[in-house]
Structure 1
Amino acid sequence: MVNIILFGPPGSGKGTQSANLITKFGLLHLSTGDLLRSEIEAKTPLGLEAKKVMDQGILVPDEVVIGMISSKLDANPEARGFIFDGFPRTTAQAEALDKLLSLKKTAISNVLALEVPEDELIARLLNRGITSGRSDDANEEVIRARIVEYHNKTAPVADHYAKYGKFKKIKGEGSVEEIFDRLSKEIETLVEEKV
């Protein structure tokens, strides 16, 4: 099983690239953002609480997210592998995910980190806010708070996986196709190792 964490700040292109990689490699997309948004759309108690927290640019509690991931893994026992998009965001989440995957007799294969300058991220997110209607993408102040939150809490996750030799930076600028080619080269190596 090939398990990839697609890493990067809000607006780095994780969702777009995940969709392309899933099609090419037959992996399942595990986006905590999508899982949470479906709860919000369904107006579940979890969704309403998550929306309140997300609108402030704050992360949703770990136990909620780990529970959703465990259910998704259990629902797909024949999966070739997963692309984790938007999770883990903290070292504690990385350790919890490693523990969960170990219980399920698998592990993270590699972390691929999309690197994009902050000005580009803000421009991308404001543009997405116009088309998507996502409230967390419509306000530059909230966007900046999310980017700061990402750097403060998520950057240490890179160190966690780097110490196991499972971390690689990928240039996240250029066309969607150019970024996709860079990511594909890294994943092809992992898929070949698993055959």
Structure 2
Amino acid sequence: MDSDKSGEAAKITIQEPKADTKGKGIDGAFIAPVMVAAKAAQRPRKGWKKGVAIVDLVLRLSAIVAGFAATSLMATTDETLPFFTQFLQFHAQYNDLPTFSFFLIANAITSGYLVLTLPFSIVCIVRPRAAGPRLLLIILDSVMMGLTTSAASASAAIVYLAHNGNSSSNWNAFCLQFNNFCQQVSSAVVASFVVSALLLCLVVLSAFALRKMK
């Protein structure tokens, strides 16, 4: 009887599955894919960074169009009103007011800057994880946003006075006579504010991208 029990015990021991130390068994077949999936989940995804860079490029192109529109509208603002004879005329031009001259220079500088930043934006598309170009762009975009906003705000104040006047300072509403002049200047100011808004979006976008890189 004892010999039969020992034989049964030996048979049970032989039929027991051995542990697979090389990871090729059933447990290893499940553990290996799980570890690979965990490592893949820990890798930073580059797709959204490339998407942010593409949006950055589109916003810059839109800001360039708006900037050149504001500059050209202000530069070509000119209206002449004849009174009595052709020798007595009233002439209105943008350089009659220093604020509008500053507006023209500021928007021209901003438009030229945006054109020069296009290669940096393309570099961010090719290399989504490059932090250097984004840091440079966020600094310069902030400076240009301040310049454009100040020029647009100052010109908007002049346009408001031109449309409504101010009796306290004896400022007459001359847009009643120079209607085309005021409409063109107003359009230039609106285009400049669009540039400022797009620059603000670029700054926020670059800051978001830099924060997610950490």
Category of TM-score, reference length = shorter chain: under 0.3
Q: Which has the higher strand share?
A: 1
Higher fraction of helix: 2
TM-score, with structure 1 as normaliser: 0.25
- TM-score by structure 2 length? 0.24
Q: Say which one has the larger Rg.
A: 2
